[in-house]
Amino acid sequence: MSATDDRMPVNEVRPEGAPAHVNLVDTSLRDGMSSVSHKFTPDQVAAVCRGLDKAGITTIEVAHGIGLGASSIQYGFAAATDPEYVAAAVDAVTGADIAVLYVPGIATLPELKAAQDAGANTVRVAVHCTEADCAEQPIRWAREQGLRVMCFLMMSHKLTPEKLAEQARKLDSYGAQVIYVVDSAGALVPRGAAARVRALREAVGAEIGFHAHNNLGVGIANALVAAEEGALWIDGSLRGLGASAGNAQTEVLAAAFERAGYHTGVDLFPLIDTAEHVVAPLMEFPQIVDETALILGYAGVYSTFFHPTKRAARKYGVRERDILMELGRRGVIGGQEDMIIDVAAELSGRSELSGRSELSGRSELARA
């Protein structure tokens, strides 16, 4: 959408050296699955995809919230299989590419092949920021199969820009076509986001992407500075739908990037219509930065720990913030969800022991 009314705000001029065009990728139907307990149906996936496609979004990510092959008792059962979601998305669009998420150790190559057979043409291989080596096999296999390959360096805040760039060089050497700085915990602020994107852009030949979470309320700002530093691919989700505080909001990204002087090829009003009239009615609750989401970002803990932490706090009678701060101190990462229960139980034991000591002290004073 371009403003033609001279009473509208004037678009800014892009910073010198910033790209003229950025690609908005929507992940409402993958990252957003975490906010609806992975229960979107294929029909609902198709409805959202039709709206995104009409608005001009050219890459749409679908599947279980944790990625291919994650539908399980550990991560939560989805309402349909990954190939069913992919097929529903492919049938609903005319121009958009359909992407899936592949996490080594959870997904398998046969599962990726099944997604490709259903019509997926892009895979996003996601690894912890220190474990780029784990991505070599799926990257090389996917390139051989003709898939477009994007790669995620999850929890990017945990490494300095220089160390993150070292991991990105490995992904580049394996054949990744786009490499993402991924703020999985929503722990980055604009200066840190910009520094990491800049370091990757200077280190690799692949294009750079940025995936924001909004735990500290700066998801949009981080995306804007990422583009200023040369990121060409920016992730978002309609209504911010995503793990914990959610992602940068796709429709807000479209508006903000237009006002900042970038071309996205996206038509804003159909995007807003899809967010308001298709996605919003499907949401179980508004996507907000509540206490748990905020502390996740503050402590630098993986966003998908949001619901398990709430459940553990209720079960063990301890505060969510105490669980998350301890998890942050221990440096836990995605895949270590079992530590939530361990920490909650330990904190509950300490609290019980402290309570007993306090009661014992009071009894001693009463006898004195």
Res. 5 pLDDT band, cuts 50 70 90:
low
| Residue 351: predicted pLDDT | 57
Is residue 356 predicted with pLDDT exceeding 50?
no
Of 282, 301, 334, which residue sits at a domain end? 282
Of the candidates 60, 102, 96, 107, which has an alpha carbon nearest to the alpha carbon of residue 238? 60
Q: Does any domain span residue 276?
A: yes
Residues 56 and 153 reside in one and the same domain: yes
Q: Does any domain span residue 125?
A: yes
Q: What sign has the CA pseudo-torsion 42, 43, 45, 46?
A: positive
Tell me the CB-side half-sphere exposure of residue 110, using CA atoms within 13 A.
Answer: 0
* Cβ atoms of residues 252 and 26 within 8 Å: no
* Cβ atoms of residues 304 and 334 within 8 Å: yes
Of 282, 300, 334, which residue sits at a domain end? 282
Residues 111 and 145 reside in one and the same domain: yes
How many distinct structural domains can be found in the chain?
A: 2
Res. 314 pLDDT band, cuts 50 70 90:
very high
Residues 125 and 272 reside in one and the same domain: yes
Residues 179 and 252 reside in one and the same domain: yes
Containing domain of residue 348, as a range?
291-367
> Taking every pair of C-alpha atoms in the chain, what is the biggest distance, in angstroms?
84
- Between CA 285 and CA 282 the distance in angstroms is 9
Q: What is the mean pLDDT of the chain?
A: 92
User: Which has more confidence, 307 or 17?
Assistant: 307
Res. 9 pLDDT band, cuts 50 70 90:
confident
Residues 122 and 269 reside in one and the same domain: yes
Residues 274 and 325 reside in one and the same domain: no
Q: Does any domain span residue 207?
A: yes
- Per-residue model confidence as pLDDT tens digits over 196-235: 999 999 999 999 999 999 999 999 999 999 999 999 999 9
Residues 297 and 362 reside in one and the same domain: yes
- CATH number for the domain spanning 53: value is 3.20.20.70
Residues 318 and 174 reside in one and the same domain: no
Tell me the CB-side half-sphere exposure of residue 76, using CA atoms within 13 A.
Answer: 20
Q: Does any domain span residue 124?
A: yes
Contacts of 202 (CB under 8 A, 6+ apart): 165
Q: Does any domain span residue 1?
A: no
Residues 110 and 210 reside in one and the same domain: yes
Of 220, 249, 282, which residue sits at a domain end? 282
Residues 262 and 351 reside in one and the same domain: no
Residues 190 and 113 reside in one and the same domain: yes
Q: Does any domain span residue 167?
A: yes
- Between CA 336 and CA 329 the distance in angstroms is 14
Q: Does any domain span residue 6?
A: no
Least confident of 12-21, 24-33, 301-310: 12-21
| Residue 367: predicted pLDDT | 46
Res. 350 pLDDT band, cuts 50 70 90:
low
Q: Does any domain span residue 15?
A: no
| Residue 366: predicted pLDDT | 43
- Per-residue model confidence as pLDDT tens digits over 104-162: 999 999 999 999 999 999 999 999 999 999 999 999 999 999 999 999 999 999 999 99
| Residue 85: predicted pLDDT | 98
Indicate the pTM of the whole model: 0.90
- CATH number for the domain spanning 327: value is 1.10.8.60
| Residue 333: predicted pLDDT | 85
Phi first, then psi: give them for residue 144, nearest 5 degrees. -65, -30
Residues 229 and 307 reside in one and the same domain: no
